[in-house]
Amino acid sequence: MKVFCCQHDIVWEKRGPNHAKVKSLLAAANIPRGSLVLLAEMFACGFSLDIPAIAEGAARETEKFLADTARELGVFLLGGIVGNGANGRGRNEAVVFSPEGREVARYCKTQPFAPGGEAAAYEAGTGPILFNCGECVVSPFICYDLRFPEVQRPAGKARAQLLTFVASWPDARLNHWVKLLQARAIENQCWVAGVNRIGSDPQFHYSGRSLIVNHQGEIVADAGDRECVIGAELDLAGMEAYRRDKPFLADLRPDFVVREARRV
């Protein structure tokens, strides 16, 4: 199983240029068919609170772009989009399309970023999901979710093999991003892939550091601060052998992990 992270600068609130940039980067990366490819949080518009300007409308342009690109490249493609929620609020979602262009999973961010106003503009999701990507069990998350290990714990309890994080994580706390991705891998004995953006928006600057981390917290791929695609092959057999040899997850207190990850 191979996973790739596409790290790029995002043009503020303009779908077309962002679709074109992603398509160009992925086409040049020679990604093997059947791989999982990750795009950043709100990759087609940037982290905006202007729901009417950026939410998917009737044409569902960004969803169609994801479906068409997944089909064209023969990959599983996971990207961050803005859906429509209740009472005029948005839904910060990660949507996955199969190599056939079919939607296979849709996750809504459990922890909107209240300090940045997101909790007022976006409704919260209801918790983790699991989906099968080839032979790999994946659980997707979004940005601020990373700060809350209890959000990922149900996925760890369900033996997810890969946790993915799509993000717009600013420079000011970039060292936290790196350490928290490693921590989530170590405590859940699984692979972790996090894709961040680069560039600037009206509020923040972003320096990337998209990472792929193995089940022992070791960084196996690092995008640095450039526009690029990084990838790695996940050693799932080695991960499962490690889990059998060090069965830490078997000691999880079930009364402390009360929520179940929903399979889709």
Active-site residue numbers? 41, 109, 143
90-97: strand order across its sheet? 103-108, 90-97, 76-84, 36-39, 2-7, 228-233
DSSP character string of 146-176: GG-HHHHHHHHHTT-SEEEEE----GGGHHH
194 contact partners, CB below 8 Å, separation of at least 6: 5, 146, 164, 165, 166, 167, 177, 181, 210, 211, 213
For residues 77 and 96, the answer to whether their CB atoms sit within 8 Å is yes
For residues 15 and 59, the answer to whether their CB atoms sit within 8 Å is no
115 contact partners, CB below 8 Å, separation of at least 6: none
What's 53's DSSP letter?
A: H
